[in-house]
Structure 1
């Protein structure tokens, strides 16, 4: 099994950088099975095609605008995935939509796709997460570990700080 945990977002726009910050912390706080690749996708688009081609599962981590209170945990799978791409938070979502569509056309798309994230509080210029989203980071990391467990993969805490 090949699984990619992909953190996306723009770290220059406070909470928009949530996905990138989450995968950085995931790598420090957990020992992951060899089947799991963690990728900082930043604001990439089609450049990710090769990294995502033929994988079994994709767990994408991003800020998700869903009209909920700040830092609300959100998990999207199945029928809810297209909604994520229709309500664009930033340009990187358009590029990822193109990547997933290309993989589908090639018959090489992941069998399991989930998008995990938190409702952003601020998208203002700044490199720090808002206090609310920062406080929600442990819950988001727990969601990623739970999603891996659903796939039969165990992430062990290293004590490396969240």
Structure 2
């Protein structure tokens, strides 16, 4: 089984980088088996095609405008994701949407896709998320770990 955890976003634009911060934190805190590949996708989208193609599970962490309170985490699965892209939910949505479209077109779509999106507050120039969105980071990482556990990978925290 092959699992890809993909963090996307622009870390130079405050809350826009929350997905990248999430996968960085995941790797810092947890021992992950070889079957789990963690990717800092930044804003590259299409550049991640080879890395995510034909994965059994693709778990994406990103910021996402879902008309909720800033810091709120939304989980979308499967067919909910392309439907959600009909409206702009992320500043780099085109790259992610194009990547998923290309995977689908070539028959390389991951078997299961889960998207965790955090409602942003600000896209100001800053390498740190706002305190409101940063406060959701531990829960976001916990949810990814929970998703991995549901798939069958009980990952443990690294020794301090």
Could you tell me the TM-score, scaled by structure 2's length?
0.93
- CA drift at 1:79: 3.1
Is this contact kept in 2: 1:118–1:133, CA < 8 A?
yes
5 Å-filtered alignment, 1:1-162, equals 1-158=1-158
Contact conserved, 1:62 with 1:117, CA < 8 A, in 2? yes
Question: Structure 2 vs 1, CA of residues 125 and 112 (structure 1 numbering), >3 Å: closer, same or farther?
Answer: same
Between 65-74 and 82-91, the greater mean CA deviation after superposition: 82-91
Give every structure 1 segment of 4 or more consecutive aligned residues whose post-TM-superposition deviation is greater than 3 Å.
none
- Paired with 2:78 and 2:17, the residues of 1 have a C-alpha distance of 24
Deviates more, 1:87-96 or 1:138-147: 87-96
Number of corresponding residues: 160
How far did 1:35 drift? 0.5
Q: Deviations over 1:100-149 (max 9, x none)?
A: 11211222110100101311111112111100111111110011001111
CA distance in 2, matches of 1:159, 1:122: 34
Using a 3 Å threshold, how does the CA distance of structure 1 residues 147 and 42 change in structure 2: closer, same or farther?
A: same
Larger CA deviation: 1-10 vs 97-106: 97-106
SS in 1 for 2:92: helix
Separation (CA, whole Å) in 1 of partners of 2:73 and 2:119: 7
Gaps of 5+ in 1: none
Does the CA-based 8 Å contact 2:66-2:89 persist in structure 1? no
SS of the counterpart of 1:86?
Answer: coil
Answer yes or no: is the 8 Å Cα contact 2:54–2:111 preserved in 1.
no
Cα 1:77–1:134 shift into 2, 3 Å: same
TM-score by length of 1: 0.92
Question: Deviation at 1:83?
Answer: 3.9
Cα distance in 2, alignment partners of residues 18 and 84 from structure 1: 19
